[in-house]
Amino acid sequence: MNRAEVLTNAQFRGFVLPLVVLGSLALFLATIGSCATNDQSLRRETLHSCKEQTKCKKIPVIFDTDICDDIDDTWALALLLSAGEGPGFDVKLITTESGNTVAKARMVAKFLETVGRTDIPIGIGIQHHNGSHRYDVWAKDYDLSSYPGTIYQDGVQALIDTIMKSQKPITVIAIGPVPNIAAALQREPRIAEKAEFIGMHGSIRRGYGGRPKPDAEYNVKAFVKELQKVFTAPWNVTITPLDTCGIVQLKGEKYQKVLKKNNPLTRALIENYRIWKKQGIAEENRDLSEAEVNKRADEQVNTGSSTLFDTVAVYLATSTELVQMEKLGIRVTNDGYTIIDDKAKTVNCATKWKDLSAFEDFLVDRLTK
């Protein structure tokens, strides 16, 4: 007869039960504590070190994109949806940013349907006009009402609700100007307590193309007041400024692997890249024949990628291993610069690559799995 069997009911209630209750309470508090911890980087490192995808917990994210202007958003979206080695994402919502956000939602919807991910809801962001964008022609005939998943007409409210209703902290990956996120913070400031922000924003010591002077980076300059609001909100802010994201480009064998992969994801990606490239060449050379535009676009599309700024923000949601991070006070100036200022709120900045080549490998592996 073991010890448990000789305990009477009274002994159980008086002695064991309180212990069980206390133990459960301790476990509950520990769980709450670990969920509430703001040390998202620890969470990311843990996830990054997990080699077997099936054993990894997916990172809950909201992806806020100004897709349809520069093509790097589509690369970032493809990376987000890719299922290669390492941790994956639990994409709770994709919101469209700035300009014609309805056209951008059509693009996202068609892309998600093409790759079989209509489980992901789409939120239409604040609309600034109903004109066209550089490569929205890819989804021009897509009927948004035919999207099998959920479309939220009010993307800002969808963003708030997704964060507020989530059991776990949400990572907001923002790869464009941030009017939606600023509006969400204005409408429901408590989202900052339940989320962290990772963005492709700014230029600390280097500008476009790695030049040794900062630039007023587009995602900042386009909506300065909104970014000031987002950076000063009481949440963890991490960015890849031009210093790191501005020098990412795939060429040679690495690029050829993606180009030749020919699965639904890479096909949709390269189709968009070709349209974007043709549109750009045609706009810059109005006298060129269509045949010549196509020839030049094909040559470039067959050779390498453009600068893939936004992909680095997606990477930072999984790990910071390949970059040098600095905690810097960052002030967003009214003319769109991100200046180091010790009195400003601290931002985690990826200011240098430790291993850019390894990041390129990560990107290629993920996209071609």
* Least distance in angstroms from the C-beta of 200 to Ca ion: 7
The answer to whether 345 touches 63, Cβ cutoff 8 Å, is: no
Report the distance separating Cα 19 and Cα 26, nearest Å. 10
Q: Between residues 107 and 175, which has the closer beta carbon with respect to Ca ion? A: 175
Token pair listed for 42: 């620890």
Residue among 307 and 351 whose Cβ is closer to Ca ion:
307
The nearest distance, CB 17 to Ca ion, in angstroms, is: 57
Q: Which is nearer to Ca ion, 73 or 226 (CB)?
A: 73
* Residue indicated by tokens 């964008």: 133
Amino acid at 324: Q
Q: Kindly report the backbone phi and psi dihedral angles of residue 78, in degrees, each rounded to the nearest multiple of 5, phi listed first.
A: -60, -40
Residue 68 vs 367, nearer CB to Ca ion: 68
Nearer to Ca ion among residue 125 and residue 169 (C-beta):
125
- Give me the least distance between CB of 66 and Ca ion, in Å please: 5
Per the document, the length of the chain is 369
CB of 190 to Ca ion, least distance (A): 27
Contacts with Ca ion, residue ranges (CB under 5 A):
66, 73, 175-176, 310
Minimum Å gap between C-beta 280 and Ca ion is 15
Residue 24: CB atoms within 10 Å:
10
Please work out, in degrees rounded to the nearest 5, the angle formed at the alpha carbon of residue 112 by the alpha carbons of 109 and 114.
Answer: 105
- Cβ-in-10-Å burial (0-12, 13-18, 19+) of 173 comes to buried
What are φ and ψ of residue 171, in 5° steps?
Answer: -100, 120
For Ca ion, which is the closer residue by CB, 180 or 293? 180
Closer of 69 and 196 to Ca ion (Cβ): 69
Q: How far is the CB of 294 from Ca ion (least distance, A)?
A: 26
- Shortest Å distance, C-beta 176 to Ca ion: 4
